Amino acid sequence: MELVEHLSMGFGVAFTFTNLLYCLIGCILGTLIGVLPGIGPVATIAMLLPATYALPPVSALIMLAGIYYGAQYGGSTTAILVNLPGESSSVVTVIDGYQMARKGRAGPALAAAGLGSFFAGCVGTLILAAFAPPLTELAFKFGPAEYFSLMILGLIGAVVLASGSLLKAIAMIVLGLLLGLVGTDVNSGVARYSFDIPELTDGIGFVAIAMGVFGYGEIIANLSRPDDEREVFTAKVSGLFPTKEDFKRMLPAVLRGTALGAALGILPGGGALLAAFAAYTIEKKTKLKPGEVPFGKGNIRGVAAPESANNAGAQTSFIPLLTLGIPPNAVMALMVGAMTIHNIPARR
Amino acid sequence: MKIKSQKDFFSGLMFTVVGVAFAWGATTYTVGSGARMGPGYFPLMLGILMALIGLGIMFSGLTVETTDGEKIGKWAWKQVVFILGANLAFGILLGGLPSIGVPAMGMIIAIYALVIISSLAGHEFKLPSVLILATVLAIGSYVAFIWALKLQIQVWPTFITG
């Protein structure tokens, strides 16, 4: 079979000691930097890109891929432990992950994120290898109308996702849209709400807003409370492994997350972020089993599903890059840059 | 008129103010018409929509009965000032502010300022432990960003390095 042939050839190239070592270094560096709040995969890859210049092309690509996945995973660690999403695709992990950590279940939450990511990553790779050519056809068919529908889906998803007042949820979405308007208008080139500050003409970064809303808000609110009311997670991370019960709940969530992530990852622009949000929305819509913790209070499915989805999405987002030569998101654009530096044509 | 839910009332007020501000800002750009939208069209509509939603939330805060009045908490002025001030100080010390002639002082001094100012926001302030934390952070940042990643960041003030 052609697929097995190609895969075994790939493994043959990757499974040399030096390449595995570079992969390990890339993963460790990516995770270390991805753990820092406010530094997402884009910034991480941009910073570590020069480190690969001296390497031969194949090793460089392997190391970059390692950095990419490491950064993707590192984001979920801070999300769970300190309530700060390291990057945009782990924003939803915060909701249930941090609640689990507050209940002293940080270990299982981290394990769920890790195992889910690993499984979804493996499946994503297989999909990438097997279905790249037919999937490209699908991505070709996406026009403005389809993207518009997709965005509407995302916004409706955000309303469904919110708990509490519906009106406030819609108001927050409008606020988000308004903040997104800051910067240069794509159609007319007019810099809106930039107050002649050059940095603002590029718009406000997602991470800056996430840090402000989730990070600073939390820090200031915590400090303003008297000592006895303060909510700081101090319990030790004990027992990394989820219980049997956890596994039983995690498994369907991981499978759903993987399927959704793989499907949405192919779309340019959406990728990991949309996949994570959609996966969480779906989990929230499924019925709670008796005795299960509700969502938003530390449900393990709320960690496993989005984390699986964003990893599967991260994998399949290589498809448009490798088949069409078009980068679906900023990270992939950097990868194209890196490939060009190493004289690897992105498109076959 | 008595406010029945302070939380709803003030969040509505916030949305209204932000919406009006954006809509007002949008009128400085070409608005155009529905068929030929200018750069100001979408922000104007969104701003108005947001102001209306805000008014709706305010209205519900005035009318819908709640048991405890849903009071908002106290303003955390001290924390807001120190935490945001620390970040501002970090930015200014790190990069300088050429427009008013403040020179860049470099990363190390900026980190010390960041840690010391932000720790003033807490309930207790112990200088020794704060200094230790600042030193550890400064060394860590130096190793990670300057030594390992070789980023182009000014480390020391110019009067030291010359």
DSSP result, A94-121 = HHHHHHHHHTT-HHHHHHHHHHHHHHHH
Q: How many CB atoms lie within 10 A of CB A8?
A: 10
Torsions phi, psi for A186 (to 5 deg): -65, -35
pLDDT at B15: 92
Whether A111 is covered by a domain: the verdict is: yes
Whether A106 is covered by a domain: the verdict is: yes
Tally A–B CB contacts below 8 A. 82
Contacts with A28 from chain B: Cβ below 8 Å:
none
**Helix axes A41-48 and A330-341, enclosed angle (nearest 10):** 10
Whether A201 is covered by a domain: the verdict is: no
- A220/B15 touch (CB, cutoff 8 Å), yes or no: no
Domain count, chain A: 1
B154 and B129 within one domain: yes
Cα gap A22→A120, rounded to integer Å:
22
pLDDT digits (tens, 9 = 90+) for A144-154: 787 677 677 76
B94 and B45 within one domain: no
pLDDT digits (tens, 9 = 90+) for B27-59: 888 888 878 888 888 889 999 999 999 999 988
pLDDT at A348: 42
Q: How many CB atoms lie within 10 A of CB A230?
A: 13
Cα gap A310→A82, rounded to integer Å:
20
Whether A289 is covered by a domain: the verdict is: yes
Torsions phi, psi for A183 (to 5 deg): 120, -170
Average pLDDT for B134-154: 80
Whether B46 is covered by a domain: the verdict is: yes
- B47/A224 touch (CB, cutoff 8 Å), yes or no: no
Nearest to A69 by CA among A231, A250, A312: A312
Residue B99 DSSP symbol: G
Extract the tokens encoding A340. 């060009």
Burial B69-83 (b: 16+ CB within 10 A, else e): ebeeeeebeebeebb
Contacts with A218 from chain B: Cβ below 8 Å:
none
When scoring A148, A172, A175, A225 by the number of chain B Cβ atoms within 10 A, the one with the most, hence best to mutate, is A175
Report angle CA A56, A59, A62 to the nearest 5 degrees: 145
B108 and B147 within one domain: yes
Rounded to the nearest integer, the mean pLDDT of chain A is: 75
When scoring A223, A228, A229, A232 by the number of chain B Cβ atoms within 10 A, the one with the most, hence best to mutate, is A223
Give the residue on B whose Cα is nearest the Cα of A49: B149
pLDDT at A136: 61
Whether A167 is covered by a domain: the verdict is: no
Q: How many residues belong to chain A?
A: 348
B54 and B81 within one domain: no
User: Which helix (H) or strand (E) segment is B156 a member of?
Assistant: none
Whether B112 is covered by a domain: the verdict is: yes
B92 and B128 within one domain: yes
Burial B126-153 (b: 16+ CB within 10 A, else e): eeeebeeebeeebeebbeebbeebeeeb
B39 and B16 within one domain: yes
pLDDT at A64: 80
Nearest to A315 by CA among A304, A339, A331: A331
* Pairing label, strands A191-192, A183-184: antiparallel
Predicted TM-score (pTM) of the model is: 0.61
Contacts with B25 from chain A: Cβ below 8 Å:
192-193
Return the higher-pLDDT residue of A296 and A195.
A195
- Domain span at residue A82 reads 2-142+226-341
B131 and B87 within one domain: yes
Whether A254 is covered by a domain: the verdict is: yes
Q: How confident is the model at residue A58 (pLDDT cuts 50, 70, 90)?
A: confident
pLDDT at B55: 92
Cα gap A318→A311, rounded to integer Å:
12
Whether A204 is covered by a domain: the verdict is: no
Strand locations in chain A, DSSP E?
A: 183-184, 191-192
- A171/B43 touch (CB, cutoff 8 Å), yes or no: no
B86 and B39 within one domain: no
Return the higher-pLDDT residue of A54 and A106.
A106
pLDDT at A229: 47
Q: How confident is the model at residue B102 (pLDDT cuts 50, 70, 90)?
A: confident
pLDDT at B146: 79
pLDDT at A230: 46
Average pLDDT for A233-247: 66
When scoring A167, A231, A232 by the number of chain B Cβ atoms within 10 A, the one with the most, hence best to mutate, is A167
At residue A240, does pLDDT exceed 90?
Answer: no
Nearest to A301 by CA among A93, A156, A134: A93
Q: How many CB atoms lie within 10 A of CB B93?
A: 23
Return the higher-pLDDT residue of B107 and A333.
B107
Return the higher-pLDDT residue of A36 and A284.
A284
- Domain span at residue B91 reads 77-161
Q: What is the DSSP string of A206-242?
A: HHHHHIIIIIIHHHHHHHHS-GGG-----S-----SP
- B22/A224 touch (CB, cutoff 8 Å), yes or no: no
B83 and B48 within one domain: no
% chain A with pLDDT above 90 = 0
Domain count, chain B: 2
B82 and B59 within one domain: no
Cα gap A209→B76, rounded to integer Å:
20
Interface of A with B (CB under 8 A): 47-48, 50-51, 165, 167-168, 170-171, 174-175, 177-178, 181, 185, 187-188, 190, 192-193, 216, 219-221, 223-224, 226-227
3-state secondary structure of B142: helix
- A223/B150 touch (CB, cutoff 8 Å), yes or no: no
Distance from CA of B151 to the nearest CA of A (A): 8
| ipTM score | 0.82
Q: What is the DSSP string of A150-185?
A: HHHHHHHHHHHH--S-HHHHHHHHHHHHHHHHSEE-
